[in-house]
Structure 1
Amino acid sequence: MQHIRNIAIIAHVDHGKTTLVDKIIHATHLFRENQESGELIMDNNDLERERGITILSKNISVTYKDTKINVIDTPGHADFGGEVERVLKMADGVLLLVDAFEGPMPQTRFVLHKALELGLKPIVVINKVDKPNCRPEEVHDQVFDLFFNLDATEEQLDFPTFYGSSKQGWFNTSLEQTDSILPILDGILQYVPEPKVEEGTLQMQVTSLDYSSFLGRIAVGKVTRGSVKESQWIGLAQEDGKIIKGKVKELYIFEGLGKKKVSEVFAGDICAIVGFDDFQIGDTFVDLENPEPLPRLSIDEPTLNMTFSINNSPFFGKDGKYVTSNHLKERLEKELEKNLALRVEQTDDANTFLVFGRGILHLSILIETMRREGYEMTIGQPQVILRNINGEQCEPYESLVVDVPEEYASRVIDLATQRKGDLHIMETKGEMQHLEFEIPSRGLIGLRSQMLTATAGEAIMAHRFSEYKPFKGQIPGRNNGVLVSKNQGSATAYSIEKLQDRGRFFVDPGEEVYTGMIVGEQNKPGDLVVNIVEGKQLNNMRAAGKDKDGNIAPKILMTLEECMEYIQQDECIEVTPNFIRMRKKILTEEERKRAERMAKS
């Protein structure tokens, strides 16, 4: 049997995880020329490349000093915690990557807590020591305090530390610069234990899944006991206790950036099994004669929900390929198979589904992926999930950390306290003020865009779910009203120019609009219905002077997440492959007024 190490790399967003994995690939001379071509090669998806964040965990494997190292790159956002919680089950050690200036962030804490609970051996890597203002020794002390606060064992507290720069490609046990990343690989061999192998029959829990158009669904996990062979008959223990008999058609292990077909996999290695279609994440492959399933994976509960329904706007079906409620239902059910932190419920309306997730980013990535696949849908306002605990209504609270230049600190505190946030820590880090708040999750919806506006884009925000606490009452929403289109047609430069003193627009001249669509933000509270499709009267009378059509301010571009945070209870978002439009749920002004009267009576 080959020597094996299984290690997961965890870090906050932008602390350099994926760069470190790239350097490990280069250091072990694993070039793309050697890799197997075909369906099974892992590749980053477009969304990850565009946003520069890891969304899906990925496995690669490198060989160093005759030892196979399985490296698992994990997402840094707490919103993708479900992805992290399940893949940590495959690891025996964890590489905690921390920025030498920022130190451990809230989402680092979340993932580290999960790793320590599972008893994984930690190695701390303090990255970006080449940056100005970095403070590696201070960050090392903060990491130790974090371990202590998370109830790490004596053995876990005695963690080895490496300093260096992923970008420059060097690491060392001291701050002295070297020219190599190999000390980290030596550290993995020295400090990460070999996989624990128990005596007994086959046990392999499915912790991830892959898909190939040739082979169908592929189960990925670590063989914790026994071994599994190609063409062997084995059992699949499901959630309801049933054991399904099946044959292993093909067996793969991870090698380099792809997978390699093998005839047998022994305990301790991570492998992929082809031959079973009816499996879920958390199921266990077992021996048919002596089945002993492993306990199922437990995943933290979602904190937000949103309604997903068919697109019922006047532009329905113009842009997308999949537009019916059946299409929507099938796609959400498919997502549930691999997205463990997601829940979907059918509502009283057959065309509407309630989707529960970990946060705005978690749900927006799902919506973005669906629209790129050709789906059209209508998305409602995100709502936090309230719970009744000991007879009291409770809501989720989050720990919010903001790093901001000193001159903007008072504005940040003001914005957070307006939204029922309590300031717990305020300290100076270099030229930045470090602020920590406890704030209801509701207060975070829409806060990021306000905070970036108030701090000229300088604020760095991070937050993570902490606990459920008593409901804190009403939180003020959006201050300004919206401009709503009165007619359907093409927006004209003439109308937009005349209405510019009323607010800022989300559409440019020539864009198609419809009745009830939100076309801009008003300068004051309350909604205003406007006609932006009116053209200029073309008669023979001309006043002296030129037309002023050239004085139109450019439209405000809003991302999907910004729209999700912007809309109110009576509004929704129309999402199609090429357009994201905000609109009123009830399109005509008369109907909206009637509904308002009914609600009051």
Structure 2
Amino acid sequence: MQNIRNIAIIAHVDHGKTTLVDKILHSGNVFRENQESGELIMDNNDIERERGITIFSKNASVMYKDVKINVIDTPGHADFGGEVERVLKMADGVILLVDAFEGPMPQTRFVLGKALELGLKPLVVINKVDKENCRPDEVYDKVFELFFNLDATEEQLDFPAYYGSSKQGWFNTENVRTENILPLMDGILEHVPAPEAHEGELQMQITSLDYSKFLGRIAVGKVTRGVIKEGDWVALAKPDGTAKKQKVKEIYTFSGLGKVKATEVKAGDICAVVGIDGFQIGDTIADAENPEALPVMHIDEPTMNMSFGINNSPFFGKDGKFVTSRHLVDRLTDELERNLALRVEPTSDSNTQLVYGRGIMHLSVLIETMRREGYELTVGQPQVIFKEIDGVKCEPYETLVIDVPDDYSSKAIDLVTQRKGDLLVMEAKEGMQHLEFEIPSRGLIGLRSLMLTSTAGEAVMAHNFLEYKPFKGAIAGRSAGVIISKDQGTSTPYSIDKLQDRGKFFIEPGEEVYEGMIVGEHSRNNDLVVNVIEAKKLNNIRAAGKDDSSSIAPKIEMTLEECMEYIQADECIEVTPNFIRLRKIHLKETDRKRYEKSMGA
């Protein structure tokens, strides 16, 4: 037991957490001297590498001074808080990584609060002290204040602090450059307690799952009591009190970035178990004769929902492999098994499911993953979830933090207050303004793109769920209307060139369009139906000549998340493996007018 340390690394997005994990893996000599390991080793998912963020928590381990250190890399974005909440159960200590300039951010507060509640021993690492304008001493005071506000115990308040740069590969207890991160590794051995060995029969809570084409679903968790052995009969204890006997086929422990087969695993170590069927995250693998289930993990509720339906556009089935409602339901059911913060409910329409998540990024990563797997689907406008508390209609509120240059601070404040946000804190630091707001979650939808446009891309935004509070009234949506295609066909340079004074386009000449598809943003606040497939006419006086496309402005490229924030209630997004298209829910103009009349009535 003394030879094991289980530690989770928590930090805000972009504070250097995965880079630190890289350095820990290198210091444990996980790689051969001639082996190319690359950077951000733990971010091995395509979407993670493209976005530069961690989405899925992962396990690795290193041997240091004959002690096995199990490292758990966690997501930094609040939308993936469900991942963090469950994997913290495997840890006995946490490394809180904080940027030496930005200090603790709202999402840091959320995850740290969960870690302190579980009684985990914290180590604070102040990273990026090599950056200009960094203020490590001030950040240390802010971290201490945060611990105090989160009701940390006396022992937790007496945390060790390390300074350094994970990119340059050094950390020390004082802000003096050293050769390596070994002082931090020694600190993990010294300050993180060894796992407690509880007396009694086997108990192991499943906190994560893995999948193999050859072995099927694999249960991952920490053995909290007893010993689990290969070939043993165990009980899978469910939260409802039922237990089912099953046989353990194989056991693996984590070694480096991979797994190694083991015959038995004792209490305190993290392992992966093969052969258990029908398990869910939160179930307990217990003694076969006397099964005792561990308390169920509580995961914070979702705050947002979206409708997921089959693709019913004229281009249905042209691009994807999985296009039916059965495919959609099966895929969402699979996702529920590993994505604890997600909920799915059927709707009155058998082709549409209502999917609940933590935020726009949480839902967009699911949609992006599905389209890469070959699914075609239609998704609606994100809606926040309202609740009735003591007879009062309430909605989710978030803490919003914006760091913006002094010149743009008034624009930033104006934008947030228009969306019912209240300014709580305004501090000047090094030519920047640090602004903190309390804002309804509805007000955040579409705010990021507006904020970046108004501040010339200089604003840095972060937000985190706060609590449910009374409904704050209507919030103005998008101010501009959209340009809608009148017919199906191929867009021409001739038509787009003629319509450029009407607004900005989301398409370019040569793209396939259909009736009801949104092809641009109107310069006024009403919707405009146009013909973008008209070709230049031939006659006997003037030759058709070439369409002059050189004067056409480039199309506006929008990411999936930007599309989700852009659409209104009567619009949706068509998502296929190769295309993301905006469209009206009702494609025909007559249907839209009929719908508007019925809504007005």
TM tier relative to shorter chain: over 0.9
Q: Does the aligned pair in 1 maintain the 2:238–2:283 contact within 8 Å?
A: yes
- Partner amino acid, structure 2, of 1:280: Q
Distance 1:128 1:539, change over 3 A: same
After superposition, the CA RMSD in angstroms is 1.5
Q: Partner residue of 2:581?
A: 581
- What displacement does 1:239 show? 2.7
Q: Does the aligned pair in 2 maintain the 1:216–1:277 contact within 8 Å?
A: no
Q: Partner residue of 1:321?
A: 321
Q: Does the aligned pair in 2 maintain the 1:2–1:66 contact within 8 Å?
A: no
Are 1:165 and 2:165 counterparts?
A: yes
Q: Partner residue of 1:399?
A: 399
- Partner amino acid, structure 2, of 1:46: D
Distance 1:380 1:117 in 2: 37
- What displacement does 1:27 show? 1.3
Q: Partner residue of 1:272?
A: 272
Q: Partner residue of 1:80?
A: 80
Distance 1:546 1:198, change over 3 A: closer
Distance 2:67 2:585 in 1: 59
Q: Partner residue of 2:554?
A: 554
Q: Does the aligned pair in 2 maintain the 1:254–1:260 contact within 8 Å?
A: yes
1:241-268 C-alpha deviation (Å, 9 max, x unpaired): 2111011100000001100001000000
Q: Partner residue of 2:469?
A: 469
Q: Partner residue of 2:38?
A: none
Q: Partner residue of 2:24?
A: 24
Distance 2:267 2:514 in 1: 61
Distance 2:407 2:183 in 1: 42
Distance 1:430 1:573 in 2: 42
1:441-590 aligned within 5 A: 441-542=441-542, 548-590=548-590
Distance 1:32 1:450, change over 3 A: farther
Distance 1:509 1:380 in 2: 27
Distance 1:122 1:63, change over 3 A: same
Distance 1:43 1:84 in 2: 15
Paired residue secondary structure (1:598): helix
1:141-183 C-alpha deviation (Å, 9 max, x unpaired): 0000000011101110000000000000000000111111000
Q: Partner residue of 1:176?
A: 176
Q: Partner residue of 2:62?
A: 62
Distance 2:124 2:368 in 1: 34
- What displacement does 1:464 show? 0.2
Distance 1:32 1:477, change over 3 A: farther
Q: Partner residue of 1:221?
A: 221
Q: Partner residue of 2:591?
A: 591
Paired residue secondary structure (1:336): helix
Aligned pairs, how many?
A: 596
- Partner amino acid, structure 2, of 1:87: V
Distance 1:8 1:544, change over 3 A: closer
1:199-219 C-alpha deviation (Å, 9 max, x unpaired): 100000000000000101100
Distance 2:383 2:261 in 1: 46
- What displacement does 1:593 show? 0.8
1:281-360 aligned within 5 A: 281-360=281-360
Q: Partner residue of 1:92?
A: 92
Q: Does the aligned pair in 2 maintain the 1:42–1:258 contact within 8 Å?
A: no
Distance 1:599 1:170 in 2: 63
1:188-267 aligned within 5 A: 188-267=188-267
Distance 2:199 2:5 in 1: 19
Q: Does the aligned pair in 1 maintain the 2:309–2:379 contact within 8 Å?
A: yes
Paired residue secondary structure (2:6): strand
Distance 1:433 1:98 in 2: 19
- What displacement does 1:32 show? 6.0
Deviates most, 24-33 or 128-137: 24-33
Q: Partner residue of 1:361?
A: 361
Distance 1:534 1:392 in 2: 54
- What displacement does 1:599 show? 2.0
Are 1:45 and 2:41 counterparts?
A: no
Q: Does the aligned pair in 1 maintain the 2:96–2:125 contact within 8 Å?
A: yes
1:377-392 aligned within 5 A: 377-392=377-392
- What displacement does 1:540 show? 3.0
1:379-407 C-alpha deviation (Å, 9 max, x unpaired): 00000000000000000000000000110
Report the TM-score when normalising by structure 2. Answer: 0.98
Are 1:149 and 2:175 counterparts?
A: no
Distance 1:464 1:81 in 2: 10
Paired residue secondary structure (1:552): coil
Distance 1:97 1:134 in 2: 15
- What displacement does 1:550 show? 1.2
Q: Does the aligned pair in 2 maintain the 1:204–1:286 contact within 8 Å?
A: yes
- What displacement does 1:544 show? 13
Paired residue secondary structure (1:214): coil
Q: Partner residue of 1:13?
A: 13
- What displacement does 1:34 show? 11
Q: Does the aligned pair in 2 maintain the 1:2–1:68 contact within 8 Å?
A: no
- What displacement does 1:42 show? 7.7
Distance 2:584 2:594 in 1: 14
1:271-309 C-alpha deviation (Å, 9 max, x unpaired): 000001210000000101221110011000000000000
Distance 2:30 2:506 in 1: 48
Distance 1:593 1:219, change over 3 A: same
Distance 1:222 1:272 in 2: 9
Paired residue secondary structure (2:345): strand
Distance 1:329 1:547 in 2: 46
Distance 1:598 1:395 in 2: 27
Distance 1:32 1:87, change over 3 A: farther
- What displacement does 1:26 show? 1.1
1:300-325 C-alpha deviation (Å, 9 max, x unpaired): 00000000000000000000000000
Distance 1:176 1:570 in 2: 58
Runs of 5+ unmatched residues, structure 2: 36-40
- Partner amino acid, structure 2, of 1:448: R
Paired residue secondary structure (1:397): strand
Q: Does the aligned pair in 2 maintain the 1:571–1:585 contact within 8 Å?
A: yes
Q: Percent identity?
A: 74
Distance 2:469 2:19 in 1: 39
Are 1:187 and 2:191 counterparts?
A: no
- What displacement does 1:543 show? 9.2
Distance 1:24 1:201, change over 3 A: same
Report the TM-score when normalising by structure 1. Answer: 0.98
Q: Does the aligned pair in 1 maintain the 2:164–2:175 contact within 8 Å?
A: yes
Q: Partner residue of 2:125?
A: 125
- Partner amino acid, structure 1, of 2:483: L
Paired residue secondary structure (1:428): strand
Distance 1:246 1:543, change over 3 A: closer
Q: Partner residue of 2:111?
A: 111
Paired residue secondary structure (1:254): strand
Distance 1:496 1:553 in 2: 9
Distance 1:360 1:53 in 2: 15
Paired residue secondary structure (1:551): coil
Runs of 5+ unmatched residues, structure 1: 36-40
- Partner amino acid, structure 2, of 1:284: T
Distance 1:81 1:248 in 2: 31
Distance 2:476 2:599 in 1: 21
- Partner amino acid, structure 2, of 1:156: Q
Paired residue secondary structure (1:396): strand
Distance 2:99 2:173 in 1: 16
